[in-house]
Amino acid sequence: MSHPRLQETLERVFESKDLLPELLKHHDFQVFANTEGLKIPLEELVLAFTHKSFSHEFQVPHQEQLEFLGDSVLQLILTEELCRRFPEYTEGQLSKLRSAIVNGTSLATMARGLGLGALLIVGKGEYHKRLFEKESVLADTFEALLAQVYRFQGLDGARAMFFLWLQRFIPTAFDANYMANFDVKSTLQERVLARYKKLPRYTAEARGEAFEVVLWINDVEIGRGVYPSKKLGEKELADTALKNGII
């Protein structure tokens, strides 16, 4: 017997609240848990995917506290692993490497790989704005899910699942080049600040669904380009400036 996909059921719930119980016990949640080997009660798993916008409309609990817990669990797991792998690194180096691995972009990458957006329950307005595709929302949902893994499978279980997912979706996370690639903006900032006593500056203007981003150093335009996001544009321009020996 085939089942309607979760988002189809969500659309029906917007029209009739009577279908809410069907949504909160949807087959897709159990399929996901079985696929990933998660031992989380269904109600608690659904909580990790319930955005506060849906909570406000339908008066059900939401994921926000789980995000907070998941962030702490993630910091502990990764800090412990980095200290084990790189005993010679300073606190500053470890902090930078941790930021390179645990940031909104990397967490959203893993969330997309796991298909979390298709399970995310958001309010009607946010659904039509496709909030379930937004990087920050996906990252928050990943943290909420990890919190539930921790609560029901313990710290060892959370550690095992996180590194399994990290290896699956970002296999180069612990490579030296991964941190260097992440840290180009910080490196450029340090060099510019040392030479000119002022920070590099980025400006951006919308160009349809993209952005034209410009890098300025010491009030001189260094480079520009059109990119899918401001963040990507800033990173690419900083990387180009460093590779070209601008600073």
Catalytic site residues? 71, 143
Q: Determine the Cα–Cα distance for residues 216 and 83; give it in Å rounded to an integer.
A: 37
Query: Looking at the DSSP assignment, which residues form a beta bridge with residue 217?
Result: 220
Residue 166: exposed, middle, or buried by beta-carbon count in 10 A (0-12, 13-18, 19+)? buried
Q: Where are the alpha helices (DSSP H) in the chain?
A: 6-15, 20-24, 27-36, 42-48, 52-58, 64-85, 91-101, 104-114, 124-128, 135-169, 176-182, 184-196, 230-243
**Residue 202 has what DSSP assignment?**
E
